[in-house]
Amino acid sequence: MSDRRTSGHDESTGAHTRPDETDTQQAPADDAPGGPREDGERTDPGDTTDTGGARRTDGDGATAGGDPTELADAPAETLAAQVELLTEENRRLRREYARARRSRYRRTAAGLGLLGAAAALAGLVVPAGREVLVVIGAIGLFGGLLTYYVTPERFVAASTGERVYAALASNHAALVDELGLREERYYLPDRSGRGPRLYVPQLAAHELPEGQSGPIVTDADARGLLVEPTGADLYAAFADAAVDDPGSDAGVATHLADAVVTQFELARHADASIDASANGTGGRVTVAVSDAAFGPLDRFDHPIPSVLAVGLATALTRPVECSVSPGDDRADWLVTVHWDGTDY
C-alpha cells in the first residue's frame, strides 16, 4: 500500500500534486515584512528597503542614507534650486558674521563708556580721589566713542581674498610659461616715480631693465616681464603706519615680518633672520612663515614674499632677488631675499 504523502496522489481527484502545494504552512516571502533575507536575518516590519538600496525608511518615516548617484540623476531644476538655496544661506551666514563682529566692537564701546561714566560719577562722590577718577572717566568715555565710530562696516573673509589672489597668480604663471621666462624673481626699487617693479627675466645672462614701463620688456639684454608687485601698496601702507622711520638697512626686515602678522594679518607667525654680514653691498634675509592666510607662498608674487622683497629693495635702494622654499618643522615656508653690490 502506497503512502499518500510520498506518492503525492489524491485519490479523490486522481491528480498528482507537488508536496509543497499541499503544505498549508507556506514560508513568508523574502521581500515581505517580517520575512527572512538572504543573510539569514529577519526584516523589521517598520523598515523597508527598496531593491536598489537607494533609501531606507525607518519606522518613524524618516529617510536615511542614499545612493551617491541620486544627486547626479536629479533634474536640472532641482540642482539649480539647491544651488540657489546654498548661495542664499552663504550670504545669510556672512551677514550674521559681520553683524556679530560689529556687535562685539559696539559692546566694547559700551563697556568703555559705562566704565568712564562710573569713574566720573565716583569722582564727584569721592573728593579724595577725584582727579584720578575724572582722568579715568575721561579716558573711558573717549575710548568708548573712538571704538564705536571706528568700527569697520565691512569684513572680507580671508578665503575671499585668497580666491582673488589665486586667479591673478594663475594668470601670471600662465603668462610666464607662455613667454618661456625663468624662475628668478627680481624686485626693483622705484627709479622713475612709477613705484617698485617685479622683473622676471627671459635670458640666463641678462641686465636689469631701466626706464621701462613694461609689462613686456624687449631690450636686447633685458627681455622679460616687468609688472607692479603685489607688495607695493602693502609696503606703502606699512610706511604710512610706522611710528618711527622703518630704516634704510636690512633691519627693516624685522619690522616687515611684524607687520605681516600684526598689521596685515597675512600669517600667524613670521620671524626674520638677518645674515650677520648683511649690509648695503650684499647680504641675505630669511623669514620663516607659518599659517599663511593666502595659501602656498611659492605662487607668483604672493603678498608675503612680495611685501618683504619690496620693503628691502626700497630700504636698500637696490634690486633684490626673492625665492621661496618649503620650510621645516619650525615653519611652513622660508622666504629668502638676497642682494649683492649691483648698482641700479
Q: What percent of the chain has pLDDT over 70?
A: 71
| pLDDT value of position 266 | 94
Confidence of residue 3 (pLDDT cuts 50, 70, 90): very low
Q: Is residue 55 part of a domain?
A: no
Q: Which residues contact 115 (CB under 8 A, 6 or more apart)?
A: 136, 140, 144
- Distance, CA of 220 to chain centre: 42
Q: Are 226 and 114 in the same domain? A: no
Residue 102 inside a domain? The answer is: yes
Q: Are 100 and 243 in the same domain?
A: no
DSSP state of 34: T
Name the residue with higher pLDDT: 10 or 168: 168
Domain count, the chain: 2
Contact status, residue 270 vs residue 291, Cβ threshold 8 Å: no
Q: What is the pLDDT of residue 101?
A: 65
- For residue 160, being part of any structural domain is answered with no
- Higher pLDDT: 317 or 28? It is 317
Exposed, middle or buried: residue 11 (CB in 10 Å: 0-12, 13-18, 19+)? exposed
> 34-48, 226-240, 248-262: lowest mean pLDDT where?
34-48
pLDDT the model gives residue 30: 45
158-167, 276-285, 325-334: range with lowest mean pLDDT: 276-285
Pairing between β-strand 56-57 and β-strand 63-64 as defined by DSSP bridges: antiparallel
Query: Domain range for residue 293?
Result: 180-344
103 and 208 within one domain: no
User: Do residues 103 and 186 both lie within one domain?
Assistant: no
Task: Report the alpha-carbon angle 88-93-98, nearest 5.
Answer: 125
Q: Looking at the DSSP assignment, which residues form a beta bridge with residue 289?
A: 270, 333
pTM of the model: 0.59
pLDDT mean over 10-25 = 42
User: Tell me, what amino acid is at 149?
Assistant: Y
- Average pLDDT of every residue of the chain: 77
The three grid cell numbers given for residue 154, joined into one nine-digit string:
565691512
Q: How far is CA 275 from the centre of its chain?
A: 32
Question: Does 124 share its domain with 217?
Answer: no
Other Cβ atoms less than 10 A from the Cβ of 88: the count is 10
Closest by CA position to 158, among listed 260, 298, 293? 293
Q: Picking from 31-35, 90-94, 99-103, which range would have the lowest pLDDT averaged per residue?
A: 31-35
Q: How far is CA 224 from CA 37, 111, 217, 291, 296, in A?
A: 72, 57, 5, 32, 24
Say whether pLDDT at 65 is over 80: no
Examine residue 82 and state whether it is found in any structural domain, yes or no.
Answer: no
Q: Which of 269, 264, 277 is nearest to 311 (CA)?
A: 264
Within a domain: 188 = yes
Between 1 and 298, name the one with better pLDDT. Answer: 298
Of 81-95, 131-145, 221-235, 298-312, least confident by mean pLDDT is: 81-95
Torsion angle in degrees (nearest 10) through CA of 300, 306, 312, 315:
130
Query: Is there a single domain that holds both residue 223 and residue 337?
Result: yes
What are the pLDDT digits (tens) for 22-52?
Answer: 444 444 444 444 444 444 444 444 444 444 4
pLDDT of res. 335:
96
Grid coordinates of 230 = 603685489
Clarify whether residues 110 and 235 are in a common domain: no
The answer to whether position 135 is within a domain reads yes
